Structure 1
């Protein structure tokens, strides 16, 4: 569920194009390297290197491109190596060293470039230069689109691990019953996750990732979109649960003692997960190895991984030796241009996969009733509303009141209340600006439009929702709140772990502000005729338009919404390759909205309650 399901998979081996051996491997290295391109899904190509012990079959020979294990041969065990976020991916020297060590010890190792790394950069300009940075930046850039669908981009990373196993199972000289998985950092996350959901993984060694959600939160770090499990914390899934799901299969957790994945969480998690192994009669199958190093697949951890796989798969203990020779990326490249995107025919990337699913969603109708129920649940579920809002109004210039109140326990709402005509037609006008009160001026066009709304008298509230205006969190690195590296992005990600979202929470803030203002005795004394049953008219612009529409869909007290300059256009966001225009539209992510309400479905739901103006 946290992945949004796994993509459909053809159980037959994936098509492979063998590119020949990698040059530059010393004759006495004890292993050799084959270069290959794997079609992991229709139109999706992955560049890869296959490390094999010296003396085996050369797989680039046509007769051995795909085939069953020869009768009577047990074959070698194999390990899928999943890369962390190093730009070079399979060519990153520490990753080469791990794979070479495995091959020297008698194992086959298959290392794939992940999406957005190595030879698989998905956002190149006409000159072949990346428009979106490799690694975590690309994973988040495409991952934001996946979130709109209610999916984690990790679903496709797990899918590629499964296709790698499909391939290894059919290669000559590989024992299909002894296939393992390892990787560090982002590869450690993928190792942990894939092992939990793929039973064919016989042994696993996640490196420099395993800790606990609680300990990781203490460090204040953010993670790229591929490492966010939607609703994971809300449904009780922590790192230890993923380890426990692997029991009783052998697993060693490899940890750096000086890591931003806190070692305290690592030791606690392994200790707790070991209980599952004990209950299944394999108390020694889960181990922990630490090294006095920083965040990397250090040589000490690489050596420990090789020892682990040899023991798990019944191979002799490996001999100690020097670090394997490192090849330049060009020697390991599987493309003539260095990038699949620049090859004839190209390749599909994460964005293309998301866009295809979005287009399919457009053909699936959801009733108005079902959509309204879903939106109301998303906006209101799990809110911790205090019995008393604790409203405080402070005098401002020109008769304005500056106020704040408890939107939820320990969470604030804020706004500026402007006076208006009172009388029988008194109601409440709410203004939502793109950046909240941070852009409030007396001549702001949205404010002028709301002030001229002669359908209703009464006060006008310019509202700050959480993370905006007076409620904008201090960014620890001084980044813009529109940056994918910002504190606001980190908080949004944390909400996704809780099966919540910033957009749904902000829509709730609007409905809560209506409750507070219409129910406040001081406001009602100042504005006779105003009360809980008076109409509410919302005027919104930019990101505020998106939040206002969500609130109106969930709260029938909002009589109408007038919007201008909206930045959330699902057709644009979901089908445009370079979708982020810097407006911060990703703040509006509500997982599942693009699947249940694609295109202008939300506009249609609001019907005549929605007014769109220039």
Structure 2
């Protein structure tokens, strides 16, 4: 695509692409900043900053929970957090339709049978599962079993074993495939008909688009679980009033969410998931997208709350001593829940089983969960020991679909289809609202949407030592800068000037070309960065290159997966886009506040284009022009994207309810 040039009253926006063949004419030298941001001082800046914000939020929550004393206070706390939880996943926008259940196969075993079943959680969006039914007459208590991250989903060895153990002890069990696993892969190789990514790999990809719609991957997974309870209650063999839920790892995550939201779950046993947000963010870090709720940390929704929100209903926390889920945090979560249950008069209804094992639904945890459900759903105190040996079914025998994948069925809809459909439902209302607003009202809507409310202050600034090279005809000058838009955040920058005459050196010339690049100064030299050529050869204009947070000198060292820190920001109700937009505005104000008050032309490439668009749209008087090289042109393009992960830093929760990136261009004028 050729360059897009949009003429505006006050500013010209040039949206083109940088040529890799262009060469810069000047050299940018490295001075003190390389030392200031060496090693962990740079690549851990954002981790330390976010860790501090998480600690503040969790401390606020702790003080609040400590004050909960009466049943009325606890009930008010539960009601508020459940409301925030539902809003974060946009749960009330989902509508129950016909389940259209199917039984596609049956296996008869000693003491129980297995039905291969399917139902639609949303129209044309099938959930595949295995329904274990005990021998004898019902109605039976039933256990919902969401799976962890096994590639074969419901057919995972440990999951089959706990299902069998429950069925032999008189429980029906519905174990179903999560989105992206088992028979519900969303990225299929057209040649082999098999999934292209692992379950976690799919979840990373599928987790971006729903955020832009004000939902999350968790929204769809939670809805699947709630519809699975609908399915269980529709079966005559099931007692609809005796429903339990258990799962491990990712299944422990879904169990925790479901038990906090759905009051039909009378007893719950989440495994190898519950700890505390503070400890989990330290190690192992945030989980897959479906584990991360918008604003949960800022609003004070911590892991113990998943049990507290259902108090005093029976809850058993399943844990492993040598788990990567911090066991110290698990005991802390248990203690917090125990205190609330005790204040309500039911201390015996929350308990913990710790197995001396590593991560997994291991035998001791399987046995402990069955004993727990027998007590609270059947009123029985029994000893449960899993028989030695035993076999599990072959994956093929548990298969529900004809070809092994739901997307091979005629008329099946994918997550991508659901995203596009929901986007279309939002667009008309979004367009009508945007059209009805004037420019100032639109800017206010943008600020509110990304959380950039209040005045953005001018960044504190510190000038480094300068390097000046003079000849008879003039010279070139280089100076490093350090901007601080807020405590603990440093934005390194370097200014270059050609044609510097002899005599006093002003801080800035009459104009500054301000570049946002993901490169350290030494990386700009060999080869010279192509974006700098034209600006660097223009006398009378300074060239400034800055590293917005988490780029260049401050780029976070990968420690979990790409974008892990952005998920922590998301759980704080923030976004990297908002933070980087604030950085740009703050730096521009700081430049304007110098005695030279230079005109600023903003340049951004790739990942930084959306932040530059927002900064210029919200504060057009700060910039004489904006040049955008490549980058994301519209959030709507991510609805069908099979590789949206590089744009995760530019995702904003619910933004497509209100505006899209092209809407910002007109505001720049």
Query: What TM-score comes out, normalization by structure 1 length?
Result: 0.85
Aligned position for 1:289:
353
Check the 8 A contact 2:367/2:384 in 1, yes or no: no
Aligned position for 2:544:
461
Aligned position for 1:472:
555
| Deviation larger for 420-429 or 183-192 | 420-429
SS in 2 for 1:202: strand
Counterpart check, 1:401 vs 2:479: yes
Counterpart check, 1:107 vs 2:188: no
Check the 8 A contact 2:535/2:541 in 1, yes or no: no
Which of residues 493, 498, 503 is equivalent to 1:415?
Answer: 493
Aligned position for 1:482:
none
Aligned position for 1:358:
423
The Cα shift of 1:556 comes to 3.6
Check the 8 A contact 2:509/2:542 in 1, yes or no: no
Matches within 5 A, 1:165-314: 165-314=229-378
SS in 2 for 1:34: strand
Aligned position for 2:70:
none
- Show CA shifts across 1:417-462 (max 9, x none): 12267999824331123657576358544323445789xx543311
Which of residues 518, 530, 533 is equivalent to 1:448?
Answer: 533
- Show CA shifts across 1:120-155 (max 9, x none): 100012113556412111111011111222322101
SS in 1 for 2:490: strand
Check the 8 A contact 2:96/2:122 in 1, yes or no: no
Check the 8 A contact 2:498/2:537 in 1, yes or no: no
Aligned position for 2:586:
512
Aligned position for 1:600:
662
The Cα shift of 1:119 comes to 0.5
- Show CA shifts across 1:514-548 (max 9, x none): 2333335xxx4xxxxx12xx543212222222110
Aligned position for 2:136:
55
Counterpart check, 1:33 vs 2:114: yes
The Cα shift of 1:399 comes to 1.5
The change in CA–CA distance for 1:373 and 1:162 in structure 2 (over 3 A counts) is: same
Whose helix proportion is higher, 1 or 2? 2
Aligned position for 1:66:
none
Matches within 5 A, 1:549-560: 549-560=613-624
SS in 1 for 2:208: helix
- Show CA shifts across 1:540-571 (max 9, x none): 22222211001122324333443333321335
The Cα shift of 1:33 comes to 0.4
**Residues of 2 paired with 1:370 and 1:351: CA distance?**
32
**Residues of 1 paired with 2:591 and 2:488: CA distance?**
19
The Cα shift of 1:220 comes to 4.6
Check the 8 A contact 2:189/2:196 in 1, yes or no: no
Aligned position for 2:503:
none
Aligned position for 1:68:
none
| Deviation larger for 322-331 or 199-208 | 322-331
Which of residues 476, 479, 499 is equivalent to 2:573?
Answer: 499
Check the 8 A contact 1:379/1:554 in 2, yes or no: no
Aligned position for 1:589:
651
Check the 8 A contact 2:585/2:615 in 1, yes or no: yes
SS in 1 for 2:581: helix
The change in CA–CA distance for 1:10 and 1:597 in structure 2 (over 3 A counts) is: closer
Which of residues 356, 372, 375 is equivalent to 2:446?
Answer: 375
The Cα shift of 1:401 comes to 1.4
**Residues of 2 paired with 1:154 and 1:571: CA distance?**
20
Check the 8 A contact 2:120/2:127 in 1, yes or no: yes
The change in CA–CA distance for 1:327 and 1:370 in structure 2 (over 3 A counts) is: farther
Matches within 5 A, 1:23-172: 27-28=109-110, 30-56=111-137, 75-128=139-192, 132-172=196-236
**Residues of 1 paired with 2:509 and 2:490: CA distance?**
30
Aligned position for 1:611:
none
**Residues of 2 paired with 1:230 and 1:575: CA distance?**
19
The change in CA–CA distance for 1:82 and 1:275 in structure 2 (over 3 A counts) is: same
SS in 1 for 2:185: coil
**Residues of 2 paired with 1:138 and 1:589: CA distance?**
18
SS in 2 for 1:326: coil
The change in CA–CA distance for 1:127 and 1:329 in structure 2 (over 3 A counts) is: same
**Residues of 2 paired with 1:380 and 1:271: CA distance?**
37
SS in 2 for 1:399: strand
Check the 8 A contact 1:573/1:579 in 2, yes or no: no
The change in CA–CA distance for 1:174 and 1:213 in structure 2 (over 3 A counts) is: same
The Cα shift of 1:210 comes to 0.3
5+ residue gaps, structure 1, are: 57-72, 478-484, 525-529, 609-614
Check the 8 A contact 1:121/1:339 in 2, yes or no: yes
The change in CA–CA distance for 1:388 and 1:596 in structure 2 (over 3 A counts) is: closer
Higher relative contact order, chain-length normalized (CA < 8 Å, sep 6+): 2
**Residues of 2 paired with 1:379 and 1:558: CA distance?**
20
| Deviation larger for 329-338 or 369-378 | 369-378
- Show CA shifts across 1:264-316 (max 9, x none): 01111111122221232211111111100111011100110111111011253
The Cα shift of 1:390 comes to 5.5
The change in CA–CA distance for 1:601 and 1:361 in structure 2 (over 3 A counts) is: farther
**Residues of 2 paired with 1:438 and 1:141: CA distance?**
33
Check the 8 A contact 1:13/1:170 in 2, yes or no: no
**Residues of 1 paired with 2:284 and 2:391: CA distance?**
37
**Residues of 2 paired with 1:354 and 1:513: CA distance?**
36
Aligned position for 1:60:
none
SS in 2 for 1:281: coil
Check the 8 A contact 1:115/1:349 in 2, yes or no: no
The Cα shift of 1:354 comes to 1.8
